[in-house]
Amino acid sequence: GNSVTQMEGPVTLSEEAFLTINCTYTATGYPSLFWYVQYPGEGLQLLLKATKADDKGSNKGFEATYRKETTSFHLEKGSVQVSDSAVYFCALKSEKLVFGKGTKLTVNP
Amino acid sequence: DVKVTQSSRYLVKRTGEKVFLECVQDMDHENMFWYRQDPGLGLRLIYFSYDVKMKEKGDIPEGYSVSREKKERFSLILESASTNQTSMYLCASSLPSTGTLGEQYFGPGTRLTVT
């Protein structure tokens, strides 16, 4: 079946550091791929998405590229801020939305 | 903006009680979902609904039921709450998949504690 594997956290970075959160998937067909973010005490919000191979999703300085050859959708940001502290979920959608287990990011000043 | 609201942010119930969690969305979405979120397990789908009075089991439906009498409202019911149902419950809604990629919009969550 479809599944998503993302790097386990927690991840702790200093402000302005480079961020990568790895995400790989297993799916039949050509799923859409998503990154969701959950800030403390809130529900999930869509951060970015990509619908086909080589698409790049971007939002709020975050980027992820749909790599079909490596079945990956890694999240990157060049310079993180304290306000980026949250839990990040990679997800794919085929028939249903399938989530990874989440990666908690803490950014220290 | 899409708004999904859940009736309570925090709830404490006793073992054996019947518990209702309510979710309302204001964007006329056809699809609605209930997930539970647990540390180390991510989000797991309990039930979903593609239309009024329609429901489908998700990955972990045991111990839960749902009700969708109106398009905007989707209720999760714990028939007899147990301590292993202590969790964060998230409701979501979306247009049909042929619309905006089936992108789901989430409520703020209800943290349920069963003692």
Model confidence pLDDT, tens digit, residues B33-59:
999 999 888 899 999 999 898 999 999
Residue % of chain A over a pLDDT of 90? 81
C-beta atoms of B41 and A49 within 8 A: no
Question: At residue A65, does pLDDT exceed 70?
Answer: yes
- The DSSP code sequence of B21-76 is EEEEESS--SEEEEEEEETTTEEEEEEEESSTT--EE-S--TTEEEEEEETTEEEE
C-beta atoms of A93 and B4 within 8 A: no
Nearest Cβ partner for B43 among A49, A51, A99 = A99
pLDDT of residue B1: 66
pLDDT of residue B86: 98
Residue % of chain B over a pLDDT of 90? 75
On whether any CB of chain B is under 8 Å from the CB of A104, the answer is: no
C-beta atoms of B90 and A102 within 8 A: no
CA angle B19, B21, B23 (to 5 degrees): 165
User: What confidence tier does B60 reach under pLDDT thresholds 50, 70, 90?
Assistant: very high
pLDDT of residue B101: 56
Mean per-residue pLDDT over chain B, rounded: 91
**Burial class, A85, CB count within 10 angstroms (exposed 0-12 / middle 13-18 / buried 19+):** middle
The residue assigned the tokens 């979903």 is B48
Question: At residue B21, does pLDDT exceed 80?
Answer: yes
User: What confidence tier does B109 reach under pLDDT thresholds 50, 70, 90?
Assistant: very high
Q: Which residues of A3-20 are buried (b: 16+ CB within 10 A; e: fewer)?
A: ebebbeeebebeeeeebe
pLDDT of residue B2: 64
C-alpha of A88 from chain center? 6
Task: Name residues whose C-beta falls within 8 Å of residue A50's C-beta, 6 or more positions apart in sequence.
Answer: A32, A33, A56, A57, A64, A65, A66, A73
The residue assigned the tokens 């919000």 is A45
Which residues on B lie below 8 Å from A45 (Cβ)?
Answer: 106
Mean per-residue pLDDT over chain A, rounded: 93
pLDDT of residue B65: 97
Question: At residue B27, does pLDDT exceed 70?
Answer: yes
Residues A30-57 have a mean pLDDT of: 92
pLDDT of residue B42: 87
pLDDT of residue A94: 77
C-beta atoms of B101 and A102 within 8 A: no
On whether any CB of chain B is under 8 Å from the CB of A57, the answer is: no
Is the Cβ–Cβ distance between A91 and B103 less than 8 Å? no
pLDDT of residue A49: 94
Residues B71-85 have a mean pLDDT of: 97
**Burial class, A80, CB count within 10 angstroms (exposed 0-12 / middle 13-18 / buried 19+):** buried
φ, ψ for residue B75, nearest 5 deg? -105, 140
Tell me how far apart the alpha carbons of residues A107 and A84 are, in angstroms, rounded to a whole number: 7
